Amino acid sequence: MSTPPPPFSGPPAGTPRLELSGITKRYPSVVANDGINLKVGPGEIHAVLGENGAGKSTLMKIIYGAVQADAGQIQWNGREVVVANPAEARRLGIGMVFQHFSLFETLSVVENIALALDEPFDLKALAIRVKEVSTRYGLPLDPDRLVHSLSVGERQRVEIVRCLLQQPQLLILDEPTSVLTPQAVQKLFETLRRLAAEGVSILYISHKLHEIQSLCHSATVMRGGKVTGTATPSRETPASLARMMIGRELPVCEVPAYTGIATPALTVSKLSLVPDDPFGTRLQDIELEVHRGEILGIAGISGNGQAELLAALSGETTSTPDSVKLVGLPVGHLDAGRRRKHGLAFVPEERLGRGAVPSMSLADNATLTAQRQGLVKKGFLRPKAAWDFAKRCIERFDVRCGGPGAAARSLSGGNLQKFIVGREIMQQPIAMVVAQPTWGVDVGAAAFLRQTLIDLSRQGVAILVISEELEELFEICDRIAVLAEGRLGPAVPKAETNAEKIGMQMSGLFAPADKEPAHAAA
């Protein structure tokens, strides 16, 4: 991942492809963009770097016409334009690949692409074009395959090909690698470099510093809605980029050794589940054991059984009693509330709507799972106790918010996550399952959350973390296993593995494939 960027010849003398000056967008509670200037030349891969909430996405939506700026100018190939809507943007030659795909799972690749075209089309001819474009850019795609059978990486290809068909002069990619294996990331980068060499400008949004260093020619760094600097990534260090991005040094986690006795706390054995959802993943013979005092990481790309495994662990789906055990006690048949009573805590990946009720206050959200901490008495709520609980949680876990009365949805992702993690920790669990602990969380809060999890484990709690971010797993976990296509690989101490090996397993290639003989006699 450390290939240096190809020499960049710089924009040819003349006009930049896109030039923003003084772009400002105010929302009722926040100034999302404050006088943003940005210049991208033809064939330039330009990074927009910043934490969540820095205003990157708003800026991209303004360029793509999905949001209108309150002030400022957009120059496109030297001409001032107002991009009224995305169709207008596409006509100008601006394409955007979104972080979350908007594909219809029951339709084929070519049908999905046809739906997004602004002009009339002929499905057969389009399929040929799709094939052409996709092979030319190293993004092989079968136009007739149904989208639900595609991997996440392949779905992203559909989105990219969809943009390329319209021959864009500027391609915007919003956090494109968050769903890809390390190997798939390399393939994507090759494609992007080829496009740039043909003169397509690329705006690449990310907060992953090493990616930006290996891919991008130039970078604009944003913080709090403002541009805090521009840089040539290859001449910077991750630390210097991080400083520009978060305004201080990148925090590092401390991982002390566990001094207690490591007895098994959470055990899963022979867990197989057929999902209700036709597009879900079947879990097959999951075996795992998390000990007190350790963090076990589960790597893998979402859609490989993560959601199903999490639900089976939390109790949102139930199975046979012995498939999940908590300190030897069979709990596989119990619902989430009963498992919590026995000392299992769970932090889901969706904070709003699952981990917390968006419109309810933090105090009311405390009651959601912490009812057994004296927040409910004889069937009646104790609002004062809930308020106090929420207040203690806010103070102890540094949740920035308007107090226990603040609605959950008014909090930023990182602060809500701190509240949810804090709420679960304050119930003194024996074992804790955490999904995507730092998804969409800014760097400062992410470091705090990781340290919190490490400290908790060293107090003797067994922690299971499911994450798509490999770096995060390597930072906090003691052992790592890979979940691919509904099967869980063996948990390996992190010193004995590396990103390369994990990446191989993510694509479903477990090293020793011990298959049964194909023609075994009955």
Which residues contact another protein by CB under 8 A?
A: 27-29, 68, 80-82, 84-85, 88, 314-316, 335-340, 346, 348, 350, 353-360, 364, 367-369, 371, 376, 379-381, 407, 409-410
What one-character-per-residue DSSP string does 227-244 give?
A: EEEEE-GGGS-HHHHHHH
Contact by Cβ (8 Å): 7, 164? no
Q: Which is nearer to another protein, 316 or 322 (CB)?
A: 316
Residue 126 tokens read as: 């389009």
Q: Please, what is the minimum distance in Å from the beta carbon of residue 80 to another protein?
A: 6
Q: Which is nearer to another protein, 21 or 186 (CB)?
A: 21
Which residue, among 421, 482, 486, has the nearest Cα to 454 in the 3D structure?
421
In terms of Cβ atoms closer than 10 Å to its own Cβ (0-12, 13-18, 19+), residue 521 is exposed
Spatial distance between the Cα atoms of 74 and 467, rounded to a whole number of angstroms: 38
Spatial distance between the Cα atoms of 281 and 274, rounded to a whole number of angstroms: 7
Spatial distance between the Cα atoms of 186 and 1, rounded to a whole number of angstroms: 7
Partnered with residue 376 across adjacent β-strands are: 381
Helix (H, G, I), strand (E, B) or coil at 440: coil
What one-character-per-residue DSSP string does 116-166 give?
A: H-SS---HHHHHHHHHHHHHHTT----TTSBGGGS-HHHHHHHHHHHHHTT
Q: Which is nearer to another protein, 14 or 379 (CB)?
A: 379
Give the amino acid at 500.
Answer: E
Q: Please, what is the minimum distance in Å from the beta carbon of residue 400 to another protein?
A: 17
Q: Please, what is the minimum distance in Å from the beta carbon of residue 410 to another protein?
A: 6
Residues in the chain: 522
Which residue, among 369, 436, 410, 431, has the nearest Cα to 179 in the 3D structure?
436
Q: Which is nearer to another protein, 124 or 400 (CB)?
A: 400
Q: Please, what is the minimum distance in Å from the beta carbon of residue 267 to another protein?
A: 21
Spatial distance between the Cα atoms of 126 and 203, rounded to a whole number of angstroms: 27
Q: Please, what is the minimum distance in Å from the beta carbon of residue 357 to another protein?
A: 5
Which residue, among 411, 372, 417, 418, has the nearest Cα to 395 in the 3D structure?
418
CB-CB neighbours of 121 under 10 Å: 15
Residue 353 tokens read as: 């709507």
H-run or E-run covering 95: strand 94-97
Q: Please, what is the minimum distance in Å from the beta carbon of residue 379 to another protein?
A: 5
Residue 316 DSSP code: S
Cα–Cα distances in Å, from 489 out to 285, 448, 473, 485? 10, 29, 15, 11
Q: Please, what is the minimum distance in Å from the beta carbon of residue 334 to another protein?
A: 9
H-run or E-run covering 283: strand 283-291
Contact by Cβ (8 Å): 149, 81? no
Q: Please, what is the minimum distance in Å from the beta carbon of residue 292 to another protein?
A: 24
Q: Please, what is the minimum distance in Å from the beta carbon of residue 340 to another protein?
A: 6
Q: Please, what is the minimum distance in Å from the beta carbon of residue 318 to another protein?
A: 11
224 Cβ contact list (under 8 Å, min separation 6): 34, 53, 54, 55
Q: Which is nearer to another protein, 73 or 237 (CB)?
A: 73
